[in-house]
Amino acid sequence: MILNKETAQKTAELLLQINAIKLQPQNPFTWASGWKSPIYCDNRITLSYPVIRNYLKENLAKQVEILYGKPDVIAGVATGAIGIGALVADVLGLPFCYVRPEAKKHGRQNKIEGFIQPNQNVVIIEDLISTGNSSLLAAKALEEANLNVKGMLAIFTYGFDVSEENFKKNNVELHTLSDYDHLLQQAEKSNYISSKEKTLLSTWRMDPANWTPQLK
């Protein structure tokens, strides 16, 4: 869910500006799943741009406070959201932890890194939402550690139906700074893509597994 449309447009503009998001409808990327995708998103690039990372951390922190007040701890999802999650926690003056995809095989075999206590209220920060599976595994790990997951905020989501269903099924509230719809609007507005390419890009999200890069 988008909380602020102006923030969504500005976030999309910034991500396109530094190629954190690339749109290639005629020369698609191939995801690990085998899907042909006209979009590639790597929000970790934002950490290399101080002005942009400051914009993201400040707006994520602002939305945390608007939606949830002041939680006890901020959690980042490893590895992509460790950096931005720590920055958000710093803005809010809160403790930070991060959640691994699986427990370490050595040492203390932690899945959650950082100091946490049972019954703390936690807000999760994520960088990107696709199907939502890995993000929701992090939420589950925090719940199993007896923390109260208040919700999750991410920089960007593709807005797949399956991700919305997954979050609803797991009863985890999700908000993002920007999404695929606002990205396409901004990309067309800035002449990054044509109106025909926007139509093609719109069809991809409807059936990403079977999408083919053909302009009609």
Beta bridge partners of 76: 98, 125
CB 172 within 8 Å of CB 123 = no
Mean pLDDT of 163-169: 95
**Strand-pair partners of 88:** none
DSSP structure class, residue 46: G
Beta-sheet pairing, 174-179 with 121-129: unpaired
Q: What one-character-per-residue DSSP string does 1-18 give?
A: -BS-HHHHHHHHHHHHHT
Q: Is the backbone peptide bond immediately before 79 cis, with ω within 30 degrees of 0?
A: yes
* C-alpha 49 chain-centroid distance: 18
- Identify the pLDDT of residue 216: 47
The token duo for 6 is 């102006």
Interval 69-78: pLDDT, tens: 999 999 999 9
Higher pLDDT, 36 or 12: 12
Q: What does each C-alpha distance from 122 to 2, 78, 167, 178 come to in angstroms? A: 20, 16, 16, 22
**Each residue's pLDDT tens digit, 104-162:** 555 556 899 999 999 999 999 999 999 999 999 999 999 999 999 999 999 999 999 99
Is residue 34 predicted with pLDDT exceeding 50? yes
216 or 91: whose pLDDT is higher?
91
CA 192 to chain CA mean position, Å:
22
How much is the pTM? 0.94
Integer Rg of the chain from CA? 17
CA-to-CA dists, residue 10 to 45, 179, 186, 198, angstroms: 17, 11, 8, 18
